[in-house]
Amino acid sequence: MKVLKFGGTSVANAQNIKLVLEIVKQKAEKDKLVVVVSALSKVTDLLHLAAAKAAENDEGFRDIVAEIEKKHLDTLKELIPVSEQSSLLSHVKRIINHLETLLDGCFLLGELSPRTADTILSFGELLSSYIIAQAYQQISKDAVYKDSRELIKTNNDFSKAVVNFEISDVLIQEYFAENQSRITILPGFIAQTLDGITSTLGRGGSDYTAAIIAGAMNAEQLEIWTDVNGMFTANPKIVKQAQPIANISYQEAMELSHFGAKVLYPPTIQPVLRKNIPILIKNTFEPKADGTLITNQAPSNGAAVRGISHIDHISLLTLEGPGMIGVSGSSKRLFEVLSHEKINVIFITQASSEHSICIGILNSDAENAEEAINKAFEVEILQNKIDPCIVEKDLCIIALVGENMKNHQGLSGRMFSTLGKNNVNIRAIAQGASERNISAVINERDVKKALNTLHENFFEENTKQLNLFVMGVGNVGEKFIEQIHSQKKFLKEVLKINVRVIALSNSRKMIFDEDGISLKDWQSTLDKGEAAIPTEFIARAKELNLRNSIFVDITANASVSEMYEKFLKESIAVVTCNKIACSSAYDNYKKLKSLSRQYNAPFLFETNVGAGLPIIDTVKNLIASGDKVHKIQAVLSGSLNFIFNNFDENNSFHDVVKEAGVQGFTEPDPKIDLSGIDVARKILILIRESGYQMEIEDIENLSFLPGECMKTANNEDFFKSLITHASHFENLLKEANEKESRLKFVAQFENGKASVGLQFIPKDHPFYNLEGKDNIVLFYTDRYVDQPLLIKGAGAGAAVTASGIFADVIRIGNI
């Protein structure tokens, strides 16, 4: 014999019930079956609501009854031939009339007792099982209907009745010894007290009904048919990469079901565990899928962690004070109070100092528990020996589960390190002596990030997901997105990094997609996006609360740079080519670096100096290894180097500057480059990264632009001024030729002083042959004295800068 249970989604409507009937038909060809069914989907909730409304003297319960009646009549009409419907419809209507009579009583009395509530809730299973039995009898006459209340007996603890197995097992065995039908269909969830009153087995009790019968009959197998392909490594609705678990032990299944794996009701396992009856969890809508087999043995070659689960809506209650230290019975008193109030304790941890004890309960029980505990310890609280009960709400318990965890060292450290890197604060920790479960209490808003982070670490071959929030999609931004799109497969397969762009924004529009924006046609999607509001951009990134989030700033906007602090405080990493933040006031620069460390959020800005060249990274490594920088000489503007390399007798200064803009080498406002402020910012950043404190005002800027050019208010006037002062630039070129030198805009730092300005570079200088848009930096340090450390290469251009930003993103992926 096999026992099959079908849940609410499996029997949600006539279409689904037809799938159930086909599964039962195929199974019955080989085995004798007991089929236990739940109420039609959502009916139990409707019954709860109707009962509550009736007890509150709300006539609205009648509309709910009408909805329940229609749902069942429509289902029956679709499953049963018209010629057979008449008597069956009358039977269903009689059951509904009985239900309405009970609710009328609640309405008149204005109350709802637990006993009456159980009777009302039983109607869902009574109706569904009757209809399904009648529908199957249209296929085969070798099927009977049996009321579970005649077989399963309980005590009088209504809503969570305790089964009397001694009596129930005998009744079940006697019935099936006499019943020779191939198929027996029963309602789940419901039972009966010894004095004949309807009771229920708790939400999820249909699983329990099936397990009780399987245990009593020593069934070959218990099959739980639901709407998913078995138990998963995590909740697939929250963790999309979750995988079905093929085999799992009873103990592991109990732990996972206790911590919210809703495909299995926790008490289900007990009746079959003692008989070693396997449980198979299958998907009604994919019956050929393997499902999950639960047996007495965990796979010997399985992973240490088999699943990650969680319980929502938890409150943490803490009782502490010096009056608990060395005083026996404090814990006993605490748990007696909770037991008296019928409050279930889900989580317990106690400090070895005995100074405090922490328990986790449902949010709905918190207020009652707090009042009861404070009353029980009233004397100690008045004497200041114990503090009033501390209550923290809106928390969640997450748990790693695995039978083999006890044989692996370092799992706790790995779990907490993974959460810590994503700034998931842990409020409490518990681990049983069996080491089958490691539990932690966290903020409920962090649960999605925590589950995905842990699943990534323990189940996804160490593939790390990076979630990017990109602001600025001009020339550089467009190249950056193009590079991500082209390298996505390589990153995932080779580097085990899955890069997703969650948000994009320009100055006008912004778009968000929690599942990742398609990069094939992102421009058209962005054009249709919502209005770009920076504060809303931050709020949405914060609200999504995704693991490994990175804000990527590809602008030159001061207001955007002011957003970094808010992102870092949310443990969102910042990658930027925007030089404004790191060249702002020294205190702000230091604050951002400090926030990065405090919130474990990387703050990377390699492209601030030298675009894609590893200049800043080199400085960091020098300093970290104990070297000290004494002098820096550099050509740090690829745009200025391009301009002066191409400015000659045949190309006017005005035309060359124009061409630099066309090729994307200059900022949108070319005066930023030509004024020297951009180079000043770059050398300032290098000075600060070398360990020196300096402000932008401390850098001497020897501008080569005439004053009139500097005073222009827009690009049009600026370019006109370059034509007006063409002779000024021609004289500079003439002087350089006379000195057999080349014009280079040089930044330098030595003896605590820094300057930027145009210089005549002789032939024997390393800067003389610097071509195109290249940058070059010379570092003189304790270790590089006579021959400086030299870094040289392309220092401007959209593709080069984008690759530098991309490299910073990958650095974060490798942390």
Model confidence at 801: pLDDT above 80: yes
- Give the pLDDT band (50/70/90) at residue 49: very high
**H/E stretch holding 392:** strand 390-401
Model confidence at 637: pLDDT above 90: no
CATH code given to domain 307-459: 3.30.2130.10
**Better-scored residue on pLDDT, 794 or 604:** 604
Q: How much is the pLDDT for 259?
A: 61
Three-state secondary-structure class, residue 439:
strand
Q: How much is the pLDDT for 618?
A: 94
d(CA 502, CA 274): 50
Partners of residue 347 on adjacent β-strands: 360
Three-state secondary-structure class, residue 579:
coil
- Give the pLDDT band (50/70/90) at residue 255: confident
Model confidence at 398: pLDDT above 70: yes
d(CA 604, CA 564): 11
The residue length of the chain stands at 815
**Can you identify the CATH homologous superfamily of domain 615-796?**
Dihydrodipicolinate Reductase; domain 2 (3.30.360.10)
Q: Token digits for 279?
A: 């449980």
How crowded is residue 16: how many other Cβ atoms within 10 Å of its Cβ?
A: 20
Partners of residue 396 on adjacent β-strands: 442
Q: Token digits for 325?
A: 């230290």
Q: How much is the pLDDT for 256?
A: 82
**φ and ψ at 750, to 5 degrees?**
-165, 140
682 classed as catalytic: yes
d(CA 354, CA 333): 14
Distance of CA 37 to the CA centre of its chain: 34
Q: Which residue out of 682, 734, 744, 773 is catalytically annotated?
A: 682
User: Is there a contact between 357 and 319 (Cβ–Cβ < 8 Å)?
Assistant: yes
- Which architecture, in CATH terms, is 464-611? 3-Layer(aba) Sandwich (3.40)
User: Is there a contact between 479 and 799 (Cβ–Cβ < 8 Å)?
Assistant: yes
Give every CB contact of residue 625 below 8 A, 6+ residues apart in sequence: none
Model confidence at 435: pLDDT above 80: no
- Give the pLDDT band (50/70/90) at residue 260: low
Rg (CA), the chain: 36
d(CA 219, CA 237): 33
Give the tens place of pLDDT for each residue, 206-234. Answer: 999 999 999 999 999 999 999 888 888 88
**First-residue to last-residue Cα distance in the chain:** 55
Residue extent(s) of CATH 3.40.1160.10 domains in the chain: 2-226
Give, as one character, the DSSP assignment of residue 80: S
Q: How much is the pLDDT for 261?
A: 58
Any idea which of 32-46, 456-470, 527-541 has the lowest mean pLDDT? 456-470
Q: Token digits for 533?
A: 């509001």
Q: How much is the pLDDT for 589?
A: 97
Q: How much is the pLDDT for 121?
A: 95
d(CA 440, CA 399): 6
d(CA 639, CA 674): 9
d(CA 677, CA 642): 17
Give the range with max mean pLDDT: 74-88, 264-278, 337-351: 74-88
d(CA 102, CA 677): 83
What are the distances in angstroms from CA 162 to CA 126, 260, 391? Answer: 20, 22, 31
**Better-scored residue on pLDDT, 170 or 140:** 170
Partners of residue 604 on adjacent β-strands: 575
Q: Token digits for 432?
A: 């049983």
d(CA 35, CA 147): 12
Q: How much is the pLDDT for 160?
A: 78
Query: What's 532-547 look like in SS3?
Result: CCHHHHHHHHHHHCCC
- Give the pLDDT band (50/70/90) at residue 434: low
User: Is there a contact between 679 and 756 (Cβ–Cβ < 8 Å)?
Assistant: yes
| % of the chain exceeding 70 in pLDDT | 97
Handedness of CA 192, 195, 197, 200 (dihedral sign): negative
Three-state secondary-structure class, residue 34:
strand
CATH 3.40.1160.10, applies to 2-226:
yes
d(CA 287, CA 62): 38
Give, as one character, the DSSP assignment of residue 84: G
What pTM value is reported for the model?
Answer: 0.73
| % of the chain exceeding 90 in pLDDT | 71
Q: How much is the pLDDT for 354?
A: 66
User: Is there a contact between 280 and 293 (Cβ–Cβ < 8 Å)?
Assistant: yes
Locus of tokens 């060292």: 409
- Give the pLDDT band (50/70/90) at residue 235: confident
- Give the pLDDT band (50/70/90) at residue 352: low
Q: Token digits for 556?
A: 């030159």
Give the tens place of pLDDT for each residue, 670-689. Answer: 888 899 999 999 999 999 99
Q: How much is the pLDDT for 407?
A: 66
Model confidence at 433: pLDDT above 60: no
- Give the pLDDT band (50/70/90) at residue 493: confident
Handedness of CA 151, 156, 160, 166 (dihedral sign): negative
* Strand-strand pairing, 390-401 and 307-320: antiparallel
Q: How much is the pLDDT for 326?
A: 72
Residue extent(s) of CATH 3.30.2130.10 domains in the chain: 307-459
User: What does the mean pLDDT of the chain come to?
Assistant: 91
Of the candidates 188, 120, 118, 102, which has an alpha carbon nearest to the alpha carbon of residue 151?
188
Of the candidates 508, 507, 489, 509, which has an alpha carbon nearest to the alpha carbon of residue 499?
489
Average pLDDT over residues 114-133: 96
**Better-scored residue on pLDDT, 190 or 774:** 190
**Better-scored residue on pLDDT, 193 or 264:** 193
Residue extent(s) of CATH 3.30.360.10 domains in the chain: 615-796
Q: How much is the pLDDT for 300?
A: 60
User: Is there a contact between 472 and 553 (Cβ–Cβ < 8 Å)?
Assistant: yes
As a dihedral over the C-alpha atoms of residue 721, residue 723, residue 729, residue 734, rounded to 10 degrees, the angle is: -160
Average pLDDT over residues 766-785: 91
- Give the pLDDT band (50/70/90) at residue 473: very high
Of the candidates 607, 586, 637, which has an alpha carbon nearest to the alpha carbon of residue 756?
637
* Strand-strand pairing, 437-443 and 426-431: antiparallel
Give the tens place of pLDDT for each residue, 278-331. Answer: 999 999 999 999 999 999 876 665 678 888 989 899 999 999 888 887 777 788
**Better-scored residue on pLDDT, 589 or 256:** 589
Q: How much is the pLDDT for 414?
A: 87
User: Is there a contact between 481 and 798 (Cβ–Cβ < 8 Å)?
Assistant: no
